[in-house]
Chain A
Amino acid sequence: MRFGVIVFPGSNCDLDAYYLVRDVLRQPVEYIYYNEASIGHCDVIILPGGFTYGDYLRSGAIARFSPVMKAVADFADRGGAVLGICNGFQVLTEAGLLPGALYRNDHLQFRCEQVFVRVENNSLPFTRSASLGKVLEMPVAHGDGNYYAPPEMLYVMEKNNQIVFRYTDREGNVTSAANPNGSIDNIAGVCNRKGNVVGIMPHPERAGEKILGSKHGLIIFKSIINYLQSREVV
């Protein structure tokens, strides 16, 4: 099992993701640069947070045309596990690998704080170790995290169980006060139709050790490790 962390110009959570996988989870991990044509022999691809290409034009809009994204799209097409965190989520929506779009927070502020998200779908490679409705605490740090999808798209996503995380309060109630950015239906994370590509706006990789205030983010990484191990046995 091998993790790959994509490094775009302007990524800044690449080291956080790399550190978590290597030093906390003790799994093999490598960086893959934006201009590479291949993702090598990786089994999981992480698109980290940051400000790729300065967020010029729109967050993720330029990074999605990086050479490596062709390899990421092919990998996703073959059912490979892809996780986009924060800016990585924005890159995946811009690339059309995930539905919807992320734009300016409704209050126009950059938000850097702890939030709670509820697991809405625990049948995915990235969520299978979590119980349904489990409330996870992790930080957000973004200015463009306002998730939007038109009603007809939301309807289809809801039907296909593509809404993976919602912002809630500590008890798991969906409230507007718990929504840090104005996202429609409090959506914090979504997946593609097949469920192998997931995007999440909060940072699970920054919630992996007690010293950071929460270890809840680990469950996402443990899920994917568990998934890949079960596949290796078969």
Chain B
Amino acid sequence: MKYYAAWKEAKALQWKAKVEITLKRAVLDPQGIAVKNSLKALGYEEVDQVRVGKYIELTLEASGRKEAASRVEEMSRRLLSNPVIEDYSYTLQEAGL
């Protein structure tokens, strides 16, 4: 039982972050336009806007959700996105259990 509790505790330290990075609305998205034109060419006339972004998945250790969020926030700001042209958002879930 002791071992189970220790295992469970260790597992609870594992978090999975899913980070989405998109170009800011004001920034022209050349890839989005190319994909949109291609979709139209395939007959998907109903398509209005296409924005291409990045998706980054990472796991990290943190003592709780708050700590995990603050670390992911910092990573997104410093490296994963460029705040001049991009916005980011993320979700966090407990990994493992």
Contacts and interface: CB of A to CB of B under 8 A. Distances in A.
B28 A101 contact: no
A61 interface: yes
Interface string A101-125: 1011111100000000000000000
Interface in B1-48: 23, 26-28, 30-31, 34
A170 to B, nearest CB: 26
B80 A57 contact: yes
Contacts of A107: 30
Contacts of B28: 106, 182
A104 B79 contact: no
Contacts of A94: 82
Given A106-B30, A108-B31, A150-B26, A100 B84 contact: yes
Contacts of B79: 57, 61-62, 65
Interface string A148-175: 1110010000000000000000000000
Contact of B85 (A65, A101, A106): A101
A101 B84 contact: yes
Contacts of A153: 84
A148 B30 contact: no
Contacts, number: 36
Interface residues of B, number: 13
Contacts of B34: 108
A105 B82 contact: no
Contacts of A108: 30-31, 34
Given A101-B82, A108-B31, 14 more contacts: A57-B54, A58-B82, A61-B79, A93-B84, A94-B82, A100-B84, A104-B30, A105-B30, A107-B30, A108-B34, A148-B27, A148-B84, A150-B26, A153-B84
Interface of B: 23, 26-28, 30-31, 34, 54, 79-80, 82, 84-85
Nearest to A94: B82
8 contacts: A57-B80, A93-B84, A94-B82, A101-B84, A103-B85, A107-B30, A148-B85, A182-B28
A182 B34 CA distance: 15
A93 B84 CA distance: 10
A108 B37 CA distance: 13
A57 B81 CA distance: 8
A182 B84 contact: no
Contacts of B85: 101, 103, 148
A100 B27 CA distance: 12
Contacts of A104: 30-31
Contacts of A182: 28, 30
User: Which 9 pairs of residues, A with B, have the shortest CB-CB distance?
Assistant: A101-B84, A101-B85, A106-B30, A104-B30, A108-B30, A101-B82, A148-B85, A103-B85, A108-B34
A62 B80 CA distance: 10
Given A57-B79, A61-B79, A149 B30 contact: no
B22 to A, nearest CB: 12
Given A104-B31, A108-B30, A182-B28, A149 B84 contact: yes
Interface string A130-153: 000000000000000010111001
